[in-house]
Amino acid sequence: MRAGVAKVNITPPVGLELSGWAFGPSVGILDDLYAKVLLLESDGRKVAIITTDLIGFNTEYATAIREGVASKVNMNANDVLVSCSHTHSGPATMRLRRWGEVDEDYIHVVEKQIIGAATVAAKEMQEARIGAGKGRADGVGVNRRDREGGSVDTEVGVIRVDNSQGEMLAVLMNYSCHPVAAHNYKNMISADYPGYAMGVIEKTKQGRVIALHTTGAAGDINPRQYHDIKYAEKWGNMVGGEALKVAESIETRPDLTLNIVSERVNLPVRKLPTADELKKMIEEGNENLKKLEKEGTPVYHQLMGAYIPIEWAQEALEVVETGRAVEHLEMEIQVVRLNDAILVAMPGEIFVDIGLNIKQASPYPYTFVIEMANGAIAYLPTRKAFEVGGYEPEHAAKIYGTYLLTSDTQNIIEEGVNRIIRRV
């Protein structure tokens, strides 16, 4: 096998709007943001694993990156995995209603930078070794829908890549927790806890190793404490420290069984309200907005209670009146096999129980689920979450600007993943 790795600084100019909430423009930089590329090759087949310290990419933009990388390094675009950490302290790079305007110039620069980093990784390809391991970082995350009894996934997944002499080149880690430790912290740019986690490895190895972070099934998992950069550092040090410990213990080997399988599944969506119902929703929303403004209600409640549902209903009304409604959302599931480890990548905010079920059903001892990969279509909740209701299954789609999914989501995802794993 051969491997190459590269990184590029993608920190945006101060002043670009942040995303993950209606923060407004950034006012400073706490730590730099990076895109990193790990390129692996075995028996003529390549996989490019790309990580970015960004909130997410819309599918069409992720596709453009995958195609650009594939063209430059002579590989199949479906064999490129591009993921976002989902930091809420970075610039708007995907469409989220009222949660930051995307700067088109910036995201096109990032696209070129990622393709450039992939080109560098390709030029630096060398004989390599690979291995996988896992550890645990307990006490970092909590289930935000059920703090007392809800599921969490404390596993720290690790892929280690060495040169032919057994010297560490790259460490790819995977952990399931929303990167919101620095959420709403002084409107400053930060990679959040994943940045600190990667920093533990890169600083310890004095820059000789590039660390990459992927976020696991963290749709309903938040840090135990957040809203301050000190928590990003605390949780990052815990996750990164464990990842380094695991990486140091992994025995690498010079051969690589590499396979990548991608398949698209259809997630059913709920039928849109009728035109009359949507008009009534818009009318009631406007009345509610006037009331909220008159009462001086905080911006959060104005956005969630009026602006966002009104604008979603206006868009839905146009879709209904022009007969463009759809019955499902298409979603790609990508599975990458690296010997006895697999990466399961999906373009959404995956609930932790779905991730845990995928791991439990997998025949591979090292099964790492990656969310916000190859695009971002919606939250992907469990059947139970749909029954209970709340933000993720009922309201978040209106921020994403998409259809509301159904309670069949979990079964379709898990069955699809299990089917693809059998092929990889």
Instruction: Identify residue 278 by its one-letter amino acid code.
Output: L
pLDDT surpassing 90 at residue 194: yes
| Segment 79-104 mean pLDDT | 97
| Segment 345-358 mean pLDDT | 99
Instruction: Enter the tokens of residue 348.
Output: 């959404």
Count of Cβ atoms closer than 10 Å to residue 227 Cβ = 13
Instruction: Enter the tokens of residue 124.
Output: 């630096």
- Kindly report the backbone phi and psi dihedral angles of residue 44, in degrees, each rounded to the nearest multiple of 5, phi listed first: 85, -5
For residue range 368-405, what is the model confidence (pLDDT) as tens digits? 999 999 999 999 999 999 999 999 999 999 999 999 99
Count of Cβ atoms closer than 10 Å to residue 174 Cβ = 28
pLDDT surpassing 90 at residue 198: yes
**What letter would DSSP give residue 207?**
T
Q: What is the pLDDT of residue 229?
A: 95
| Segment 229-249 mean pLDDT | 99
Count of Cβ atoms closer than 10 Å to residue 205 Cβ = 17
Judged by average pLDDT, the poorest of 5-9, 172-176, 287-291 is: 287-291
CA pair distance 296, 390, nearest whole angstrom: 25
Q: What is the pLDDT of residue 299?
A: 83
Count of Cβ atoms closer than 10 Å to residue 155 Cβ = 22
CA pair distance 76, 54, nearest whole angstrom: 24
Q: What is the pLDDT of residue 377?
A: 97
CA pair distance 223, 226, nearest whole angstrom: 6
Q: Chain-wide mean pLDDT for the chain?
A: 97
Size of the chain in residues: 424
Helix intervals (H) in 25-83: 59-73
Q: What percent of the chain clears pLDDT 70, i.e. is strictly above it? A: 100
- The alpha carbon of 93 is separated from its chain's Cα centroid by a whole number of angstroms, namely 12
Rounded to the nearest 5 percent, the helix, strand and coil shares of the chain are 35, 30, 35
- At 184, the pLDDT band (50, 70, 90 cuts) reads confident
Q: What is the pLDDT of residue 42?
A: 98
Does the CA dihedral 414-55-190-204 come out positive or negative?
Answer: positive
Contacts of 295 (CB under 8 A, 6+ apart): none
CA pair distance 241, 230, nearest whole angstrom: 16
Nearest to 347 by CA among 151, 62, 91: 62
- The alpha carbon of 336 is separated from its chain's Cα centroid by a whole number of angstroms, namely 16
CA pair distance 211, 191, nearest whole angstrom: 13
pLDDT surpassing 90 at residue 110: yes
Q: What is the pLDDT of residue 310?
A: 97
Instruction: Enter the tokens of residue 148.
Output: 């007392």
